[in-house]
């Protein structure tokens, strides 16, 4: 029996939605075509859907694209992206508690916990921040993606501050600030290794990885591929095997901090999408190994928190800045 590590993160930047599955073949796995292997472990998966994934280059074994006739071997890690046509959003109000940092008649600022998906997607029709907003607030404005009130988003397993618009005017006013790069966003993250430079700027276009569509990648700024992205970082504390870093964004690309930090050789701690869930060779002494393994359990997600958020208020025109404490799972690893 393969270990099922399927996860529900959905790529809403693409025309279609993709459901991601991950399986690890056991020690006793006998040679089996990967399409049949996946049929055995994905409920309601059809042969046509698996074949379509293979044709589109969306089946990976050990992070390498494979054809449908690849024979799965013991300990192979198999990943697949199954595409689904866009669905009609039917937002179901749900009484999910919200940590509201600030609220007035124009907007609210929320401190999102890790593990909470921001908006519904295929397989995540309920239990999202949008479902919670629909319960607590009536008639929130709809943006171009039919996500009520959302001006921006952060990943499911990233914690931290989000601003939500309560009026159409606030939605337009706030969205323009994010587009014009006049908003302020600071993230705190733990990255593998010792970041040598105290401060730095990472520039590089971000787009889909050429061989792994579950990842983003950095491309040359002069390339026609991807969209420009700029991240400014500053070392807060060096902790031996990891470094605590502050990152300020000029742009807001998908996985921007995660992929930019990996690009300079410092993957986020426990970021399984980008290889941060494995102890980096040469970064830790034997005496730290048990501590690091405990941190993997304490912090079962990428070590990334949206700590500070600043923007101009839609009606008062006052520049407002909000700050949040580092969540306990990250703080325990720092201490």
With a CB cutoff of 8 Å and minimum separation 6, the contacts of 212 are: 60, 63, 65
127, two tokens: 């239990």
Give the DSSP H or E segment for 175: helix 168-180
8 Å CB contact between 74 and 27? yes
- Annotation says 155 is catalytic: yes
Instruction: Report the sign of the C-alpha dihedral through residues 218, 222, 226, 227, in that order.
Output: positive
CA geometry: angle 22, 261, 329, nearest 5 deg: 65
Instruction: Quote helix, strand, coil % in the chain, to nearest 5.
Output: 20, 30, 50
CA 14 to CA 60: how far, in whole Å? 19
HSE (side-chain half, CA atoms, 13 Å) at 226: 26
The one catalytic residue among 11, 76, 155, 329: 155
CA 330 to CA 301: how far, in whole Å? 10
Number of neighbours of residue 256 by Cβ within 10 angstroms:
23
Just list the catalytic residues. 155
């Amino acid at each position: 029996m393969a270990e099922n590590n399927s996860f529900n993160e959905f790529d809403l930047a693409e025309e279609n939605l993709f459901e991601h599955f991950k399986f690890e073949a056991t020690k006793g796995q006998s040679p089996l075509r990967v399409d049949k292997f996946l049929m055995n472990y994905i409920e309601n998966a059809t042969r046509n859907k698996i074949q379509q994934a293979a044709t589109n280059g969306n089946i990976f074994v050990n992070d390498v694209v494979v054809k449908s006739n690849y024979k799965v071997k013991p300990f192979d890690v198999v990943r697949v992206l199954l595409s689904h046509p866009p669905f009609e959003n039917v937002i179901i109000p749900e009484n999910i508690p919200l940590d509201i940092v600030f609220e007035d008649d124009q907007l609210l600022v929320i401190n999102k916990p890790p593990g909470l998906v921001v908006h519904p997607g295929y397989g995540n029709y309920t239990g999202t921040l949008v479902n919670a907003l629909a319960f607590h607030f009536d008639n929130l404005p709809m943006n171009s993606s039919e996500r009520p009130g959302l001006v921006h988003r952060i990943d499911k397993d990233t914690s931290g501050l989000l601003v939500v618009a309560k009026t159409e005017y606030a939605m337009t006013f706030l969205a323009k600030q994010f587009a014009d790069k006049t908003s302020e966003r600071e993230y705190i993250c733990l990255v593998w290794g010792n970041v040598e430079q105290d401060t730095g700027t990472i520039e590089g276009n971000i787009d889909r990885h050429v061989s792994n569509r579950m990842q983003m990648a950095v491309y040359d700024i002069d390339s026609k591929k991807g969209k420009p992205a700029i991240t400014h970082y500053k070392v807060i504390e060096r902790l031996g095997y990891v470094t605590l870093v502050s990152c300020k964004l000029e742009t807001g690309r998908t996985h921007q901090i995660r992929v930019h930090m990996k690009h300079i050789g410092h993957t986020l701690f426990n970021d399984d999408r980008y290889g941060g869930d494995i102890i980096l060779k040469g970064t830790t002494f034997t005496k730290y190994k048990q501590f690091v393994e405990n941190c993997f359990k304490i912090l079962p997600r990428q070590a990334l928190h949206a700590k500070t958020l600043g923007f101009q208020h839609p009606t008062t025109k006052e520049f407002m800045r909000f700050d949040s404490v580092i969540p306990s799972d990250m703080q325990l690893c720092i201490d």
